[in-house]
Amino acid sequence: MKNFSIPNRSKQPRLKKIQAPELPEPTKGVLNNGLVYYVFKNKLQDVVKIDVLFRAGSVYQNKKLVASTTAKMLKEGTKSMTASKIAERLDHFGAYLETSSNNDRAVLTLFSLKKNVRFLLPLLAATIYEPVFGQQEFHIINTQQKQEFLVNSLKPKHITNRVFNELVFGPDNPYGRTANEADFDALRRDDLIEFHQDFFLNNKPVVIFSGHVDQTIEKQFIELFSSHWLTASDKAFPDPPRDQFATGIHWVDKPGSLQSAFKMGVLTINRFHADYPALLMLNTVLGGYFGSRLMSNIREDKGYTYGINSSLAAYEQACVLSISSEVGREVTSAALAEVQHEINKLRTTPIPEHELSLVRNYLSGNYLRNLEGPLTLADNFRPLIFSALGMNYYKNILNSFQQLTSEELKTTALKYLDPEKMVTVVTGEKLP
Amino acid sequence: MLKFDRFTLDNGLRFLVHRDKTTAMLAMNIVYDVGSRDEDPEKTGFAHLFEHLMFGGSVNIPKYDEPLQKAGGSNNAFTNNDITNYYLTLPSANAETAFWLESDRMTGLAFSEKSLEIQRQVVVEEFRQNYLNQPYGDIWMLLRSLAFKVHPYQWTTIGKMPAHIEQATMDDVKDFYTRFYHPGNAIVSIAGNLKLKEVQKLAEKWFAGIPPGVKHCRKITPEPIQTEHRFLKVEREVPASRLMIAFHMSPKFAADYFTFDLLSDLLGWGNSSRLYQALVIRKKLFSEINAFITGDHDPGLLIISGRLNPGISIDEANEAIWREIDLVRKAAPNKKDLIKIKNKSLANMAYENISLLNRAMNLAFAENLGDAAWVNHLPARYTSVTAEDISEVAREYLTKNNASTLYYCSSNKSVS
């Protein structure tokens, strides 16, 4: 038997101050045509990730589904390669090319082993410059998307999200517009070709490299990306949302549903506002981590749900704070009342010091976690590319976390977390 | 090459240590060798319910999460048919908190009626949210009970029905803890910037005093060899019909396990795969289709799963899949295809190991199956598979008699 003393289990081992994560700025390059690219070099793993970001999200479209389908179809055939050839080539090199879009942006992400990047950069360029939007491929993708949409339309959480967005932004605001089944049938191949012309060919992207990027890769990139966008102009954001469209509670009736999915939230300040770090901290306390007040109360104390959380969805021109969960049908009203109660508590009672210090530490650890590994800096940099801010943005946020006081947070809660101003959507069976 | 060291405490608890000097984070993973296959058929869903109870406080620590979050950490856990796995990451400076927390819940739980009552409700809500109140939510329950008649893989981790969870008693909980949650039934792996010596010191300090338990002897009756085709057709209110075919295959890491994996890749991993090219692109029968293996420790399943396009007859779609199966049975894949699927597997292993936590997990999983060093042998195991191996496995296993077919039909007549 080895010697070991019996440890004191009743006390947590002494905690050390969590060191701030390293936040190096990327190196910046500018091509002859004005295209800006950033490099986060990291030689630890032999992988490379390349993000090409366009301001070509759904807010820019004049017809529903055009932006997302255009992005999706970029890799479904180019002038020199069929869709099948492209898929074959990517799989052969064990690489991934994701082409996707959200409200604000379209993003192409190439993820590959370092040694194979040179075979794939020309393909990446071709999917941007010369996609053909073949009629057959368009039909396949559009059918897939429609089916996906119909399946999602049966998911209580999904229905709730859709209606919630409409009610926060209004059905006519670019952020509030949602598609319906008929929009898939109305979509035409020509819509995509036109959108591609305007928002990919005549609209300069920003490129971010991360991982084991060497000179050969950079040189090849410069050759491939310098001769385009000579006359491109930057796209202005169409119509930033100003006021929240609706308040109050809205039911989507789903008779027989075992659970109710709800989302409650409010249009709020965007990520560059001076009060944003405080709001981020309040959001964490309320429902931003496993030990949050909502989780402790509604899941761990009452057992109403498998999970509940609050989050900040930061768009380019707006930000929404929301709380969402799926709860048992019978306890829906009770759960909603508890959420209101927790929000009000933040407005009336300062957060106790021990809870505040826990959240500070949790958030510091979380930033360290988010920045672990060779490719994570780029992910964190992505939201900042169209702003003048660099990675310093995160340093400032981390500093704010350390400095904000309970009183300041209470003031912030009074300013931004007002249940009266929130809109709530519930999908489920409304009990008498 | 993933470098690691291994040591075992006197109470039987095994440690794996992977040092990464470049990170400020520490990952700790603990796998307990118990899953839903170890459950009583009348008390299914229990291993997973128990996982929830592991967060309900231990002898000296009333709340697991609070001190971890205070240390800047974050954690989660999952249960599958074979194992229950707990993992956390935290700033390496606070490593000792991880040892304190995990050793305390290996010492003893603070069993409370309230905690059990609440977690029963939480898990029933999880059951409703993910399996009952979702389109296609019951598809895995149907397929598993069709493919397995004897082996406990016939039920899913969430359990057969909410009633089983509602009936769990405190005696069941205590008995389960004694049987499965002890040093001899667990493996701890640690990845981060800690020296082996430091880990040994912390391991001794916090875990060595935990009394050893009795390693349970798993007595699961193997699934008898299937001798005829099984078929089930159900109708549900979903927008599109789905078709699934499951074939029995070899246990995890058996000699031909890697051949099965590559066979499934050839058939249906990604847009260049055979099924996707033939049935989505050329014949337009499916809107999506893929093939994969379940990766179970005991003999599991190779599955082909597709969603039908509107207006397509499910019988016709089924026949088309079988024509593709016949092709792979008749002829070995060409060199180009073989290189492609191997490259893809090798690249994915490299991508997976970028994450510190994944490295800790993979070491612990491999050790639990036999030897942590296997993580470094995997590339060679894939590379050595030949084209002939693939068609041979296809000929032997991708047969009607070894297949369970599920028609999950849309009751929406306008669709098909």
User: Chain B closest CA to A363's CA: distance in Å?
Assistant: 7
Nearest CA in chain B to A299: B122
What average pLDDT score do residues A255-264 get? 94
B88, B124, B128: which to substitute to probe chain A, counting the most A Cβ within 10 Å? B128
A313-369 confidence digits (pLDDT tens): 999 889 999 999 999 999 999 999 999 999 999 999 999 999 999 999 999 999 999
How far apart, in Å, are the Cα atoms of B135 and each of A314, B128, B129, B386? Answer: 29, 12, 11, 40
Beta pairing class for A106-113 and A259-268: unpaired
CA distance B232 to B300: 19
State the Cα–Cα distance between residues A50 and A68, nearest whole angstrom. Answer: 20
Regarding an ipTM greater than 0.90, the answer is yes
A106-113 and A96-101: which strand pairing? Answer: antiparallel
Residues ≥6 apart with Cβ < 8 Å to A304: A298, A325, A327, A328, A331, A334, A335, A338, B121, B125
What percent of chain B stands above pLDDT 90?
Answer: 96
Our CA-based measurement puts residue B149 at a distance from the nearest CA of chain A, in whole angstroms, of 30
Q: Given an 8 Å threshold on Cβ–Cβ distance, is A374 in contact with B280?
A: no
Q: What is the mean pLDDT of chain B?
A: 96
Q: Strand, coil or helix: what is A21?
A: coil
CB contact under 8 A, B350 and A45: yes
Computed over every residue of chain A, the mean pLDDT equals 94
Subunit contact B347:A113, Cβ cutoff 8 A: yes
For chain A, what percent of residues have pLDDT higher than 90?
87
For residue A324, tell me if it sits in a domain: yes
Q: Do A214 and A266 fall into the same domain?
A: no
Please state the rounded mean pLDDT for residues B63-67.
Answer: 95
Query: CA A67, CA A104: separation in Å to the nearest integer?
Result: 10
Q: What is the pLDDT of residues A108-126, one digit of tens each?
A: 999 999 999 999 999 999 9
Q: How far apart are CA B104 and CA B99, in angstroms?
A: 8
Out of A2, A154, A369, the one facing B10 most closely (by C-beta) is A2
B61, closest residue in chain A (CA to CA)? A10
Residue of B nearest to A358 (CA): B70
Quick one: average pLDDT of A239-249? 90
Whether residues A147 and A186 share a domain: the answer is: yes
Partners of A147 on chain B (C-beta within 8 Å) are 239-240, 287, 307, 309-310
CB contact under 8 A, B93 and A306: no
**What pLDDT is stored for residue B32 in this prediction?**
98
Neighbour-count burial of A3, counting CB atoms closer than 10 A to its CB (0-12 exposed, 13-18 middle, 19+ buried): exposed
Is there a single domain that holds both residue A255 and residue A217? no
Question: Residue B342's closest CA among B256, B257, B262?
Answer: B262
Domain-located, residue A165 = yes
Q: What integer pLDDT is reported at residue A1 of this predicted model?
A: 46
- From A392's Cα to the closest Cα of chain B, the distance in A is 20
Kindly state whether residues A203 and A336 are assigned to the same domain: no
Is A10 part of any domain?
A: no
Mean pLDDT of B338-350: 97
Asked if B205's CB is within 8 angstroms of A140's CB, the reply is no
Q: Rounded to whole angstroms, what are the CA distances from A277 to A186, A394, B371?
A: 43, 10, 47
Q: Which residues of chain A from 207 to 246 reach within 8 Å of chain B, CB to CB?
A: none
Q: Which residues share a beta bridge with B243?
A: B306, B407
- Interface check A328 vs B, CB under 8 A: yes
The b-or-e profile of B296-317 (16+ CB within 10 A means b, else e) is: bbbbbbbbbbbbbbbebebeeb
pLDDT in the model for residue B117: 94
Residue A242: per-residue pLDDT: 81
Are the beta carbons of B354 and A375 separated by less than 8 Å?
Answer: yes
Interface of A with B in 181-210 (CB under 8 A): none
Give the pair of three-digit tokens for residue A245: 């469209």
Domain hosting A76: range is 27-225
In Å, how far is A229's CA from the nearest CA of chain B?
Answer: 31
Q: Report which DSSP code applies to A6.
A: P
Q: pLDDT-based confidence at A5, cuts 50/70/90?
A: low
- H helix count then E strand count, chain A: 15, 11
What is the least distance, in Å, from the CA of B124 to any CA of chain A?
A: 8
pLDDT over 70, % of chain B: 99
Facing B346 at nearest CB: one of A15, A94, A372: A94
Nearest to A88 among B69, B99, B272 (CB): B272
Contact A365 B74 (CB under 8 A): yes
Residue A151 falls inside a structural domain: yes
Look up residue B194 and give its two tokens: 């800690």
- Cross-chain residue pair A13–B97, CB shorter than 8 Å: yes
| Res. A222 pLDDT band, cuts 50 70 90 | very high
Residue of B210, B186, B222, B1 lying closest to B100 (CA atoms)? B210
Helix B387-397 × helix B257-268 angle, to 10°: 90
Residues of B in Cβ contact (< 8 Å) with A111: 351
pLDDT over 70 at A233, yes or no? yes
Q: Name A219's Cβ contacts closer than 8 Å, sequence gap at least 6.
A: none
Distance from CA of A92 to the nearest CA of B (A): 4
Chain A residues close to B276, C-beta within 8 Å: 87
Query: What pairing do the DSSP bridges indicate for beta strands B25-32 and B403-410?
Result: unpaired
Q: Among A15, A46, A93, which would you mutate to test the B interface (most chain B Cβ atoms within 10 Å of its Cβ)?
A: A15
Question: Among residues A351, A362, A363, which one has the least CA distance to residue A398?
Answer: A363
Domain assignment present for A232: no
Cβ–Cβ below 8 Å for A143 and B351: no
Best of B1, B94, B337, B345 to mutate (most A CBs within 10 Å, chain A): B94
What total number of domains does chain A contain? 2
Same domain membership, residue A202 and residue A137:
yes
> Which CATH number goes with the domain that contains A150?
3.30.830.10
Does the distance separating the beta carbons of B122 and A305 come in below 8 Å? yes
CB A37 within 8 A of CB A208: yes
Residue B416: what pLDDT?
A: 40
Structure tokens, B371: 């030897």
Interface contact flag, B25 A9, Cβ < 8 Å: no
Residues B319 and B285: their CA atoms lie apart, in Å, by 11
Mutation target among A18, A75, A120, A398 for the B interface, most CBs of B within 10 A: A18
Q: Do B70 and A375 touch (CB under 8 A)?
A: no
CB distance A305–B125 less than 8 Å?
A: yes
- Residue at A239 is within a domain: no
What sign does the CA torsion over A251, A254, A255, A258 have?
negative
- Which residue among B97, B118, B128 places its CB closest to the CB of A258? B128
Claim to verify: residue A207 and residue A275 sit in the same structural domain: no
Helix extents (H) in B218-290: 257-268, 274-275
In what helix (H) or strand (E) does residue B234 lie, and over which residues does it extend?
Answer: strand B230-236
Whose structure tokens read 């709340």?
B63
Count of other CB atoms within 10 angstroms of residue B323 = 11
Contact status of A281 with chain B (Cβ, < 8 Å): no
Chain A environment of B165 (Cβ under 8 Å) = none
Q: How far is B197 from chain A (nearest CA, A)?
A: 15
Q: Are residues A182 and A264 in the same domain?
A: no
For residue A87, give the DSSP letter.
Answer: H
Contact between B351 and A7 using a beta-carbon 8 Å cutoff: no
Domains and CATH numbers, chain B: 5-207 (3.30.830.10), 230-332+386-410 (3.30.830.10)
Helix (H) or strand (E) holding A121: helix A117-129
Question: Quick check: is A66 in a domain?
Answer: yes
Residue A238: the pLDDT is 77
Q: Do A361 and A319 reside in the same domain of the chain?
A: yes
Instruction: Find which of B87, B97, B351, B359 to mutate to test the A interface (most A CBs within 10 Å of its CB).
Output: B351
Q: Name the nearest CA neighbour of A422 among A245, A276, A240, A171.
A: A245
Q: Measure CB to CB from residue B97 to each of A12, A302, A372 and give the nearest one.
A: A12
Q: How many angstroms separate the CA of residue A391 from the nearest CA in chain B? A: 18
Scored b (16 or more CB within 10 A) or e, A242-256 reads eebbebeebbbebee
Q: Do A18 and B91 touch (CB under 8 A)?
A: yes
* pLDDT score recorded for residue A19: 83
pLDDT at A431: 87
pLDDT in tens, B91-137: 999 999 999 999 999 999 998 999 999 999 999 999 999 999 899 99
Are residues A307 and A411 located together in one domain of the fold? yes
Chain B's closest residue to A42, CA to CA, is: B22
Q: Residue B201, Cβ neighbours under 10 Å: how many?
A: 15
**Percent of chain A surpassing pLDDT 70:** 99
pLDDT of A284 above 50: yes
Backbone angles phi, psi at B249, to 5 degrees: -140, -165
Count other C-beta atoms under 10 Å from residue B126's C-beta. Answer: 22
- What does the alpha-carbon distance between residue B368 and residue B18 come to, in Å, rounded to a whole number? 16
Is the CB of A361 less than 8 angstroms away from the CB of B135? Answer: no
CB B258 within 8 A of CB B377: no
Q: Residue A46 above 90 pLDDT?
A: yes
Cα distance from A57 to chain B (closest Cα, Å)? 25
Q: Is residue A22 part of a domain?
A: no
pLDDT digits (tens, 9 = 90+) for B127-138: 999 999 899 999
**Of A225, A240, A264, which residue constitutes the final position of a domain?**
A225
The answer to whether the beta carbons of residues A319 and B94 sit under 8 Å apart is no
Residue A3 pLDDT exceeds 90: no
Whether A299 has its CB under 8 Å from any CB of chain B: the answer is yes
CA separation for the pair A97, A112 (Å, rounded)? 9
A220 plus A254 within the same structural domain: no
pLDDT reported for residue B143 = 98
Size of the A and B interface in Cβ pairs below 8 Å? 221
Minimal CA–CA distance to B248: which of B153, B358, B124?
Answer: B153
Say yes or no: A77 and A193 in one domain: yes
Cross-chain residue pair B204–A4, CB shorter than 8 Å:
yes
A197 φ, ψ (degrees, to nearest 5) = -55, -50
What backbone phi and psi angles, to 5 degrees, belong to A190? Answer: -60, -30
pLDDT of residue A4: 54
pLDDT of residue B30: 98
Q: Check if A8 contacts B (Cβ < 8 Å).
A: no
Comparing B147-161, B176-190, B270-284, B400-414, the range with the smallest average pLDDT is: B400-414
Q: Where residue A94 falls among pLDDT bands split at 50, 70, 90?
A: very high
Residue A307 and residue A195 share a domain? no
Sign of CA dihedral A387, A392, A395, A400: negative
Q: Residue B413's pLDDT band (boundaries 50, 70, 90)?
A: low
**Length, in residues, of chain A:** 432
Question: Is residue B251 within 8 Å of residue B296, measured between CB atoms?
Answer: yes
Residue A100, phi then psi, degrees to nearest 5 = -145, 175
